[in-house]
């Protein structure tokens, strides 16, 4: 089974959120990762990440705005300047709701263009910028994994309830971008494995307003999700590139 080698480097995009923070902690506790680069929009106020920098010399904390191409260009330049070729990159940023301005739509009349634009910017365009800026760097490795957190509600085939137009469509768009990037990577960056992963309903700020009907055994902690994701990343082989996988490793229909 494929494994990460000693002296590996990981990049966590959106590291201040629930799953991103849990992934960062998981990687820092893994002795194989000598460098963990955690990015978030406002590092100076990311108290949990700042605390981790005091505990781990292997952690680098840097700012990145997921909707800003220049942010990704700066991250790419930083990696090249320090001769870092990440073995794992995971995009954890996501947007479902934000105050009264962005809320999941229950009906067509709830659609607001500005809200849709914000959701797509984070959930779809951000990963596209990540692939553009970082995939050429990862392609120099013998084996690397680039993962993006998607969602089962982005599955067109599995959509039986409707609603949540912006979030569903942005995740479906993300899935298509990942699949398309996979096809190019097979030609240009043969060592890189791309995948979309679905965490299930996780106890974070993103899902908290919508947890009332979730059974207790179906509400996962961020730590559990981080553990499951790492198990998936560990086992991915070249032929798995382009997959859409749930937290338990099962394939999700497109």
Domain-embedded: residue 240: yes
Domain-embedded: residue 232: yes
Poorest-confidence range of 123-127, 153-157, 214-218? Answer: 214-218
Count of structural domains within the chain:
1
Domain-embedded: residue 147: yes
The pLDDT value recorded for residue 218 is 81
- pLDDT at residue 225 above 80? yes
Domain-embedded: residue 231: yes
User: Which position has the token pair 């790419």?
Assistant: 76
With a threshold of 0.85, does the pTM exceed it? yes
Q: Where are the alpha helices (DSSP H) in 123-249?
A: 126-138, 165-188, 222-235
Q: Which two tokens mark 251? A: 């394939």
Domain-embedded: residue 65: yes
Helix, strand, or coil (residue 32): coil
Domain-embedded: residue 252: no
Are 220 and 237 a contacting pair, CB within 8 Å? no
Are 71 and 65 a contacting pair, CB within 8 Å? yes
What is the spatial distance between Cα 157 and Cα 163, in angstroms, rounded to a whole number? 14
Confidence at 201, pLDDT banded by 50, 70, 90? confident
CATH number at residue 17: 3.40.50.720
Are 54 and 85 a contacting pair, CB within 8 Å? no
Q: Which two tokens mark 198? A: 């679905």
Domain-embedded: residue 12: yes
Are 13 and 66 a contacting pair, CB within 8 Å? yes
Query: Which structural domain, as residue segments, surrounds residue 21?
Result: 8-246
Domain-embedded: residue 221: yes
Poorest-confidence range of 67-71, 166-170, 186-190, 225-229? Answer: 186-190
């Amino acid at each position: 089974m494929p494994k990460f080698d000693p002296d590996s480097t990981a990049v966590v995009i959106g590291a201040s959120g629930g799953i991103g923070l849990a992934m960062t902690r998981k990687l820092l506790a893994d002795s194989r990762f000598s460098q963990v680069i955690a990015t978030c929009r406002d590092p100076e106020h990311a108290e949990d990440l700042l605390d981790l920098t005091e505990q781990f010399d292997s952690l680098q904390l840097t700012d990145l705005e997921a909707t800003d191409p220049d942010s990704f260009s700066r991250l790419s330049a930083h990696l090249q300047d320090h001769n870092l070729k990440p073995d794992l990159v995971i995009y954890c940023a996501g947007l479902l709701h934000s105050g009264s301005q962005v809320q999941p739509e229950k009906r067509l009349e709830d659609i607001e263009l500005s809200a849709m634009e914000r959701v797509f910017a984070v959930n779809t365009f951000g990963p596209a910028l990540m692939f553009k800026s970082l995939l050429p760097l990862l392609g120099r490795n013998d084996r690397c994994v680039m993962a993006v957190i998607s969602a089962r509600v982005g599955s067109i085939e599995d959509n039986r309830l409707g609603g949540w137009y912006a979030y569903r469509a942005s995740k479906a768009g993300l899935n298509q971008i990942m699949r398309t990037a996979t096809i190019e990577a097979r030609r240009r960056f043969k060592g890189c494995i791309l995948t979309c992963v679905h965490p299930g309903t996780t106890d974070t700020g993103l899902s908290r307003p919508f947890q009332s009907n979730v059974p207790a055994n179906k509400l996962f902690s961020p730590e559990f999700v981080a553990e499951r994701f790492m198990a998936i990343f560990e086992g991915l082989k070249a032929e798995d590139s382009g997959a859409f996988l749930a937290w338990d490793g099962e394939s999700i229909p497109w």
